Chains A and B, each alone.
Chain A
């Protein structure tokens, strides 16, 4: 009888214990991530003395993502042009297509989709690179040469991502507007004067463009930070690096979408 009662209590307590263990593990990970971020930021002065390290990472994260961001932006712009045309034409407002395309891109889709694309292309590459450096003892090798791997390896990559993200988002939005123009004006016959004229009149620099840039800067910090942390925290095995890469992409995507909601509510919710 006593054994049965004990088994029952254990059965009830075990899930609670697992939940607690999982929560503690997540909190410990969050703590390590913040300590890593502090270490990365502490190395920013050191990085300024070696600008070539930063330039190399702007190339790796930014320039190498130009193609995927540009092509995606063009297609997203074309879809916006197509969908917007059919909706707006029902209300006799198809001349507002330019505003709709530009506002959607600059406020939302530019920063968000760029962040998702960069997390998928450059973020996963960063995680795999750092994870493999850990697995092949390159980070320990630097430590043993009295070189701080966080400052030398992670800091330039972090700022490379931070600088690249708003530039790529701007490229995405610009190419997207061209995609919308191609479909709306080129294929569906919207007046090109109205397309650009309304866009110029209704898109507000501070309200739309600056807020979009702020979003992409925040996404740049979050996506790059998550990618670097996952690589740095990866188990030093091939399986560990593979799992870390997957986690980096999933966590970055979820974080970007969640933060986008918060930022949108703060910026545009009146």
Chain B
């Protein structure tokens, strides 16, 4: 993984990458997403600095890291909403960063994305929100659209809420409706942007189970961006931990759990102080308090 910090695990074997380590019936040996030398900045702030990253087909891959490290930006780069400053992003063999608008839209029909807010269209009912991509991109008759929508809503347990408006939904329900909409066109991959943030334990449990079950039952590939360590680790086949524009660690959840790096331990165990300091950089308290002429 050139250009980034590679992680050594206790057995001394360097990590090969997500596509080599994932196994099991749902996982194919090839990579659905292959990122090489990705660099991206916002003004003077470097978000990614020559990052390499692989997403295995059929797997649930978690991208974790502290808030503000560019996890959502990574999803936007993979889906072509942003263009990298340098490097390449291949999704199913297609170079996303060079695709024109129509080719990008064609690729996005095979992707779903679950936004942090749900991003439901607020003037449409639950049913119409889920039907929206079907009506836009297929010529199915209304009866078939209805059947498909009801099946998708059944999959997320909200068939009975089909006539509600988004304003009448709880946060967890809105995300489940958004998930039903994301799988409406039977995509090859779903990108989850902080799916567990702000959820009560029951909603979180439902979402955790749904993400894993949908991935396995529908043969999807899932990328889950989150900083909820326990929930994400419980369903991930492979994990990347990113910070300061680099991949700080990667591996299966078991490998990450065994990781000794101080930084990784602080993040995984939620320690308040460590390599990431509790205090925002500042002059010493004494110097600050003794400034003359203030107060």
A interface, CB within 8 angstroms of B = 136-138, 140-148
Compute how far the CA of A140 lies from the CA of B117 in the bound complex, rounded to whole angstroms: 11
Q: For the complex, is B121 an interface residue (Cβ under 8 Å from A)?
A: yes
Within 8 Å by CB of A144, from B101, B111, B117, B136, lies B111
Residues of A within 8 A of B122 (CB): 136, 138
Interface footprint category on B: 20 to 34
Interface string of B104-144 (1 = CB under 8 A from A): 01101101110111011110000000001100110000000
Compute how far the CA of A232 lies from the CA of B117 in the bound complex, rounded to whole angstroms: 19
Residues of B within 8 A of A136 (CB): 117, 119, 122
**Closest Cβ neighbor of A147 among chain B residues:** B136
Interface centre among A136, A138, A146, A147 (most CB of B within 10 A): A146
**Closest Cβ neighbor of B119 among chain A residues:** A141
User: Does B108 contact A144, Cβ atoms closer than 8 Å?
Assistant: yes
Compute how far the CA of A145 lies from the CA of B135 in the bound complex, rounded to whole angstroms: 11
Residues of A within 8 A of B109 (CB): 146
Residues of A within 8 A of B120 (CB): 138, 141
Q: For the complex, is B79 an interface residue (Cβ under 8 Å from A)?
A: yes
Known contacts A138-B122, A140-B81; A145/B117 CB under 8 A = no
Residues of A within 8 A of B132 (CB): 145, 147
User: Does A146 contact B116, Cβ atoms closer than 8 Å?
Assistant: no
Within 8 Å by CB of B115, from A140, A146, A147, lies A140
Compute how far the CA of A23 lies from the CA of B166 in the bound complex, rounded to whole angstroms: 42
Q: Which of B186-208 contact A (CB under 8 A)?
A: none
Known contacts A143-B81, A145-B133, A146-B105; A137/B116 CB under 8 A = yes
Residues of B within 8 A of A137 (CB): 115-117, 119
Residues of B within 8 A of A138 (CB): 119-122
Residues of B within 8 A of A146 (CB): 105-106, 108-109, 133, 136-137
Compute how far the CA of A147 lies from the CA of B102 in the bound complex, rounded to whole angstroms: 10
Chain B nearest CB, measured from A80 CB (Å): 40
Residues of A within 8 A of B121 (CB): 138, 141-142
11 A–B pairs (Cβ distance < 8 Å), ordered by A? A136-B117, A137-B116, A140-B119, A141-B115, A141-B119, A144-B79, A144-B113, A144-B115, A145-B133, A146-B108, A147-B136
Residues of A within 8 A of B101 (CB): 148
Residues of B within 8 A of A142 (CB): 121
Residues of A within 8 A of B116 (CB): 137
Interface centre among A136, A141, A144, A148 (most CB of B within 10 A): A144
**Closest Cβ neighbor of A143 among chain B residues:** B81
Compute how far the CA of A145 lies from the CA of B184 in the bound complex, rounded to whole angstroms: 10
Residues of B within 8 A of A141 (CB): 113, 115, 119-121, 178
